[in-house]
Chains A and B, each alone.
Chain A
Amino acid sequence: MNLLTITSEAVRALQANRLRTLLTMLGMIIGVAAVVLMLSIGQGAQTKINDAIASMGSNLLIVTPGATSAGGLRFGSGSIKTLTMQDAQAIAELSTVTASAPVVSGTAQLNYGANNWSTFLSGVTPDYFSISNWQIQAGEIFTESDLRAGARVTVLGAVSAKNLFGDEDPVGETIRIADRPFTVVGLLAAKGQALDGRDQDDRVLVPLTTAQRQILGNQFPGVVNFMLVQAASADSMEAAQQDITDLLRQRHRLFDGVENDFTVSNLTALASVASSAAKIMSWMLGAIASISLLVGGIGIMNIMLVSVTERTREIGIRMAIGANRRMILTQFLLEAMMICILGALIGILLGMGGAWLVSEIAGIQIVITLGMIILAVSFASIIGIFFGIYPARKASSLKPVEALHHE
């Protein structure tokens, strides 16, 4: 009996027993679909967080006004005015620090022709772009001289640009920010969501001095909302944190025993917390997926073992009319493989379809990799093929008369 005949014999056996075939395949389908779905969601979440972390800039410290333990209440409104541009410049001189970027922020109304858009406004220095890892898509960033002059130039985030200009090139155009004309000098490349879920591209950037004097109308010139500081290296993060603290205490004339009126936090450390949370979630989804796979596998096993009496008799009859062991095992192996391959294909399609649906409905990012598909398919196939062939192995090692009388 050649392989072709055995194959068609296996196909016939599967067709002849549709219910058993379907039930076995169902275990396979559920297992594979669940794994692909769960892992794609987990992987998607992790990828998203990793992207957000990568977009954040490296070795970042953030200096905010106010004490860590106190928040705004205890120090009143005065406490949020403790950081100045001069502080930032002094920090930039520290040996453990590469650069510092003071930031003032608020919201502003943008107009271009008939379009208007309310967005998040930051007044920054040129160093801000490199520290927080912004890439320029078109045009350029503003310069030190723009900063000194308080020039009316602006760099747009991708979302703001889209809302004002559609698909037009904004560089060189004039928009109105808080009713004053500004020349768009640059367009930022899109970054997507930040770790906190905010859209980082929905923003407008102007020189710090321009923001202070012309838009936000700050009563305390030189005061900034916060500053980003880039440490010289990953290893010097703690040293930089200490140096900044010492420097600011000295500059703010804080006597021993007086609490800091500022907080230096390690943004990179915060990010790694978020990233490990994402990892835990993705492991949990993976665990749920493994359970589904196991349940599917047990389903496959049960249906194979339930039909073992009938199949043992069938094997007895086949042996009695002249089938040898190899022919029987080949037929059963092929049957199991066909169920597994077909079930896996349906499972993959179902899992991918489900993942797509989840991403559409819940707006969750999903990532499907070849690895997870291979994992799901190989695990389910091992179970399917093992329990498909195991009864056949046992039955075909019996004498024909024993197989015929099996109950």
Chain B
Amino acid sequence: MNTPAVLSDQIDAANPTAIIRVENLCKSYYLDGANGKSVELRVLIDINFSITSGEFVAIMGHSGSGKSTLMNVLGCLDSPSSGHYWLGQQDVATLSNDALASVRNRQIGFVFQGFNLLRRMTALDNVAAPLLYAGISRKAARQRAMSLLEQTGLDSFAMHHPNQLSGGQQQRVAISRALVNQPQLILADEPTGNLDTQTSHEIMLLFDRLNRESGITIMIVTHEDDIAACASRLIRLKDGRIIEDAATRHRQNHAMAARQ
């Protein structure tokens, strides 16, 4: 445990295709309690799992069970209180802020429940933004962003601002943005939480295709069983602990389900 680099080599040797591996991961918040003492709120407790490249994982659990907290740590948007997190070969704890920014930019595509698009930019510029931070010229970035909007069926909305788009359209813009730097991993925290059933199915269809056709690893938080049914594996959290981690029996072909 004292020499994470060595450990990480061992893990990689044991499981060469692991894209994510967490070990004894804990996350606590410290809240101001009565008489000035701070109260520890343990949100994630001893989380252990590893995820193989190409998996489609659903994370479920009651509200407040720590799903978002876990996703934020995995997405390098937040840091754990203790424990280890390896992303591919890298021990995330050893990365500088700039290196973390680069990881978020190139290796992970994060999809939020509330979309988190830049309000004052067109759909096209929103999708192109990660490419600009990757050092690609605006012209090339826009071309690539446009081809992604075509893939997600939004090319005719490229010049619209987020407030001129429906929720489903905004989420597809956000997914295009998450995909634009061709990451190996998509983390989606309740991506369909703000959408109706029909639109949810369309979004899940998109994730399903990305996973099947491009082999992108996907982790998705959801409250809905039929969304979770798209996944090949289900991790269930309760009060910050994993209480279930198993392959789903029949991974539903969501394309078929949507058509019926």
Are A and B physically bound partners?
A: yes
- CB atoms of B133 and A322 under 8 A apart: yes
| Known contacts A13-B120, A325-B97, A399-B79; A320/B104 CB under 8 A | yes
Alpha-carbon gap, A9 to B125, bound state (A)? 10
Alpha-carbon gap, A399 to B80, bound state (A)? 12
Q: Count B interface residues, CB 8 Å.
A: 31
Q: Is chain A's interface secondary structure helix, strand, loop, or mixed overall?
A: helix
| Known contacts A321-B133, A322-B130; A17/B120 CB under 8 A | yes
Query: What is the number of contacts between chain A and chain B, taking CB atoms within 8 Å?
Result: 74
- CB atoms of B132 and A1 under 8 A apart: yes
Determine the residue in chain A with the shortest Cβ distance to B125: A12
- CB atoms of B138 and A8 under 8 A apart: yes
A5 within 8 A of B: yes
Which residues of B have CB within 8 Å of A401? 72, 77-78
A400 touches which of B104, B118, B125, B137 (Cβ 8 Å): B104
- CB atoms of A314 and B118 under 8 A apart: yes
A114 within 8 A of B: no
- CB atoms of A16 and B116 under 8 A apart: no
A1 touches which of B72, B75, B112, B135 (Cβ 8 Å): B135
Determine the residue in chain A with the shortest Cβ distance to B135: A1
B98 within 8 A of A: yes
| Known contacts A1-B133, A322-B181, A399-B77; A317/B104 CB under 8 A | no
- Classify chain A's interface size: 20 to 34
Which residues of A have CB within 8 Å of B105? 321-323
Which residues of A have CB within 8 Å of B97? 324-325
B31 within 8 A of A: no
Alpha-carbon gap, A323 to B117, bound state (A)? 14
B163 within 8 A of A: no
Which residues of B have CB within 8 Å of A404? 77, 112, 116
A-B contact pairs, 21 of them (CB 8 A): A12-B121, A16-B120, A317-B116, A318-B133, A320-B77, A320-B110, A322-B102, A322-B104, A322-B105, A322-B106, A322-B130, A322-B181, A323-B105, A324-B102, A326-B98, A399-B79, A400-B76, A400-B77, A400-B78, A404-B77, A404-B112
Chain A contacts to B: CB under 8 angstroms = 1-2, 5, 8-9, 12-13, 16-17, 314, 316-327, 399-401, 404
Known: A314-B118, A321-B129. 20 other contacts (CB 8 A): A1-B134, A2-B135, A5-B138, A319-B104, A320-B77, A321-B105, A322-B101, A322-B104, A322-B105, A322-B130, A322-B133, A322-B181, A324-B98, A325-B97, A399-B77, A400-B76, A401-B77, A404-B77, A404-B112, A404-B116
Instruction: Enumerate the 3 nearest inter-chain pairs by beta-carbon distance, A residue then B residue, closest first.
Output: A322-B105, A16-B120, A324-B101
